[in-house]
Amino acid sequence: MASIFTKIIQGEIPCEKIIETDSEIAFLDIMPCAEGHTLVIPKLEVKRLEDLPESEALSLMRTMQHVAKAVSAAFDGIDYNLILNNGANAGQEVEHVHFHVLPRPQGSSRPFHQRAKYAEGEMQEVGAKIRNCL
């Protein structure tokens, strides 16, 4: 079954489109976390970023950069987060890879406020574990 984003791409569901290319579409989030909250998605429906072919991922990044610059400029050079929720445990609600361009006005809450240090030697173990999967 097609995701809600595929239905938007196909014109079955309306959206406030920001830009559309051959491979991507960007539109305003219908339930924004901030004014200007924009979604940038590939037209190819894949669930996770790593499922997107490399050429399409590169194209998506170019479009995302273009859109993020425009969102920032539209709100007087506002700062922003680029957010990818990759999988349900990461908060992904629509199983179609998508990035959020989330404007961050002054005084908004900051991400990454809950941090913990690695135990002695743990950082090296984690690094090796990731490198072994490359």
Number of domains in the chain: 1
Instruction: Give the structural domain span for 51.
Output: 4-131
Instruction: Give the domain CATH number at 31.
Output: 3.30.428.10
pLDDT reported for residue 50: 97
Instruction: Report CA-CA distances (Å) from 23 to 4, 51, 80, 125.
Output: 17, 15, 23, 39
Q: Over the stretch 104-131, which tens digit does the pLDDT of each residue have? A: 988 888 776 667 888 999 889 988 888 9
Q: Over the stretch 17-29, which tens digit does the pLDDT of each residue have? A: 999 999 999 999 9
Positions marked catalytic = 98
In the chain, pLDDT over 90 holds for what percent of residues?
80
Furthest C-alpha separation in the chain: 54
pLDDT reported for residue 1: 81
pLDDT reported for residue 114: 65
Question: pTM to 2 decimals?
Answer: 0.89
Judge whether residue 38 has pLDDT over 90.
yes
